[in-house]
Structure 1
Amino acid sequence: MRSGVACCLAGDIGATNTVLALVTAAGGVRQPILTRTFQSADYPSLEVILDEFLGGSSAVVQRATFGVAGPVIDQRVQITNRLWGVDARSVAAHLGGLPVHLLNDLEALGHSVPQLQAQDLVVLNAGQRDERGAIGIVAPGTGMGEGFLVWDGKGYRPCVSEGGHSDFAPNNEVELELLRYLMARFGHVSVERVCSGLGLPNIYAFLRDTGREIAPEWLEAELDAANDATPVIVGAALSDARACSIAKRTLDIFVDVLAAEAGSFAVRLLATGGIYFGGGIPPRILVLLREPRFMSVFLAKGRLRSVLDAVPVFVINNSGAGLLGASHHVLLGD
């Protein structure tokens, strides 16, 4: 890195990972001069992560934008599914008083959507895109994020949402029983309780505990030894080496719920500009999302089926999209 180079600091802060980058106007959002990923659970605060990232650097940081997993209120956020939070004023003071802005992680992802290129996307439904139509983002990762973009006359403006915490709406008898099972455990059952990294183990437990499926001993042993059950279940479901009915059915229910929720979100928004799937899970289960059943469930909205049939549907297949959006925001200087 050149000595004293002026740059901006961007970050994508999640319950699992925190990714930071230094970007310049000359290099743009796709050519950071420095980037690094940290395990969020290994640090007590963002400030400590920043000290490690910037330690020894001669870069002159002018301003910072962070996309954060959770609702941003008065430039403060308690990271969903993580014990520590972020306060823009505290971070600004820690960085010597430079301007710091917090974005909801889905708002940051929204800033990335107009910057995405063909190689960043997998097309599930080509549709007929309205160049100024509303755009929806559905992002199952550790939690379930939902956001949207609207055209303001000059460009697309990302908008925040906590739609992942809205009610789970079952669409068949098994999902109704799943709802009853989860209501007994949690009371309120959100979409996130089912359709997220946190939700997949809930579906698995429902199938096992109600006797609908038998959990093999080898899988139970792997789950007991794992810090995170979701990769184990997904891996077992997609494995060709050994059949695992309960894992496959768990993932099938997850995919149906994801398709139905995304279709409902598209109806609510009239998302003629497209639906984009973000988050960590969709790229890992592309083989299932590409199957005809996924779009069939997505489109199953009765009289509005023909409207949804024209909605383009994409999977964002760029793990750095959230950082891309935060970088775009900070370089704009908004």
Structure 2
Amino acid sequence: MLSTDASASPLHSVLVADVGGTSARLATVGTDGVPTDPRIYRNDAFPGFEALIEADLAAREPEVAAAIRGVMLAVAGPADGDHVRLTNRGWSFSKRAIRRRFGWTRFVAMNDFEALAYGVPAFTAADLVTVGGGHADPRAPMLVCGPGTGFGVAGLIRTGGTLRALTGEGGRARLGATNAEEARLVAHLARELGPVVVEHALSGSGLARIHALFAGETLAPEDVIAAARRGEDGALETCRVFLRLFGRIAGDLALTIDARGGVFLAGGVSAALAAFFNDSPFREAFEEHPPHEGRLVATPVSVIVHPTPGLIGCAQVGARLARALAR
């Protein structure tokens, strides 16, 4: 749920920001956990994170900007130290320096997929496209993963009555091959990029690389997807290769954390390809992990199609911060 009414922000509002490699989504949130007045920016328009924040605050009503006392920031990269650097964009900053610069009382930063994982319980059926069957075990871990500018991975586990997100850099894990088609792709990527990692193939740029190799045509990823929607054979084959590889990697990750609570496919590329999953080899490749096929057959998989899913996760964390600031 999103609110576009800026006046609905409680006094102790928190700025929430989901900053990926390509774009950033910002909103304010109060104790209710509902993102208010969401705004989307292209990162290319700004030299760095500080300039992005300055532009966003200037665009909001003065009383709303003045009421912001805390920030919950999700970034596409590790965020556990004071110095934060985006994995797929040359932006970096110091948490302490940014908090002092803007005069915030609290500043929380975490990996974007970690924040997204916290939003999973808030998604409704309208926010998800189901891929195949399965039934979630509510006691088991959940997995969130998917391609965008890079490839993000996070888990969500229940400890007592609390949900806790776990994150890492799964997109930088080495990518291998299980058949001749994948071997051809990995060999091509190795010649082009050196040691091959998951996000070299499973990302927006990876989709374009797969299309160039198998269709012999250089297109931007959004153009590949558009061509597939028009039914063009080369683009449909690219999507088939991409989704089969995606299914295998998602199955690998699901087994790694025992994600019988459900697998949620995130990222802009996943959402753009949502209509193709059920007619693709994704589910077959997801389940094809002997001798554990039965475990994966029972694991439900959904594509997240909410327009700003990262903000939903940021808002869940931001609401806790807002409640702390209101005490």
- Normalised by the length of structure 1, the TM-score is 0.88
- Corresponding residue for residue 250 of structure 1: 238
Residues 113 and 154, structure 2, Cα contact 8 Å, conserved in 1:
yes
1:235 aligns with 2:226: yes
- Corresponding residue for residue 30 of structure 1: 34
- Corresponding residue for residue 42 of structure 2: 39
Of residues 99, 102, 114, the one that matches 1:95 is: 102
Of 181-190 and 271-280, more deviation after overlay is shown by: 181-190
1:323 aligns with 2:319: no
- Corresponding residue for residue 51 of structure 2: 48
Residues 145 and 153, structure 2, Cα contact 8 Å, conserved in 1:
yes
| SS in structure 1 at match of 2:268 | coil
Residues 5 and 58, structure 1, Cα contact 8 Å, conserved in 2:
no
Following the alignment from structure 2 to structure 1, what is the Cα–Cα distance between the partners of residues 177 and 320? 42
Residues 208-242 of structure 1, C-alpha deviations (whole Å, 9 max, x = no match)? xxxxx454xxxx5xx4xxxxx111122122214xx
Distance 1:171 1:189, change over 3 A: same
- Corresponding residue for residue 210 of structure 1: none
Counterpart mapping for 1:49-68 below 5 A: 49-55=52-58, 57-59=62-64, 60-68=67-75
Following the alignment from structure 1 to structure 2, what is the Cα–Cα distance between the partners of residues 31 and 119? 18
Following the alignment from structure 2 to structure 1, what is the Cα–Cα distance between the partners of residues 278 and 96? 44
| SS in structure 1 at match of 2:63 | coil
- Corresponding residue for residue 15 of structure 2: 9
- Residue 75 of structure 1 deviates from its aligned partner by 3.5
Residues 48-88 of structure 1, C-alpha deviations (whole Å, 9 max, x = no match)? 12222212521211211011011123133211221112332
Residues 11-57 of structure 1, C-alpha deviations (whole Å, 9 max, x = no match)? 100111111111112xx23351x221111111012221222221252
Alignment RMSD (CA, Å): 1.9
- Corresponding residue for residue 3 of structure 2: none
Query: What amino acid sits opposite 2:62 in the alignment?
Result: S
Residues 143 and 196, structure 1, Cα contact 8 Å, conserved in 2:
yes
1:332 aligns with 2:323: no
Counterpart mapping for 1:103-182 below 5 A: 103-182=110-189
Residues 259 and 297, structure 1, Cα contact 8 Å, conserved in 2:
yes
Following the alignment from structure 2 to structure 1, what is the Cα–Cα distance between the partners of residues 35 and 20? 22
Percent of aligned pairs with the same amino acid: 28
Structure 1, unpaired ranges of 5+: 208-212, 224-228
Structure 2, unpaired ranges of 5+: 1-5
Following the alignment from structure 2 to structure 1, what is the Cα–Cα distance between the partners of residues 82 and 228? 40
Query: What amino acid sits opposite 2:106 in the alignment?
Result: P
Residues 288 and 294, structure 1, Cα contact 8 Å, conserved in 2:
no
Aligned length, in residue pairs: 312
Following the alignment from structure 1 to structure 2, what is the Cα–Cα distance between the partners of residues 19 and 75? 22
Residues 144 and 196, structure 1, Cα contact 8 Å, conserved in 2:
yes
Residues 13 and 68, structure 2, Cα contact 8 Å, conserved in 1:
yes
Query: What amino acid sits opposite 1:145 in the alignment?
Result: G
1:309 aligns with 2:297: yes
Residues 226-283 of structure 1, C-alpha deviations (whole Å, 9 max, x = no match)? xxx111122122214xx3x332222211111101100111111111101000101112
Distance 1:89 1:325, change over 3 A: same
Query: What amino acid sits opposite 2:298 in the alignment?
Result: A
Of residues 177, 193, 196, the one that matches 2:200 is: 193
- Residue 114 of structure 1 deviates from its aligned partner by 1.6
- Corresponding residue for residue 288 of structure 1: 276
Of residues 71, 80, 94, the one that matches 2:87 is: 80
Query: What amino acid sits opposite 2:17 in the alignment?
Result: G
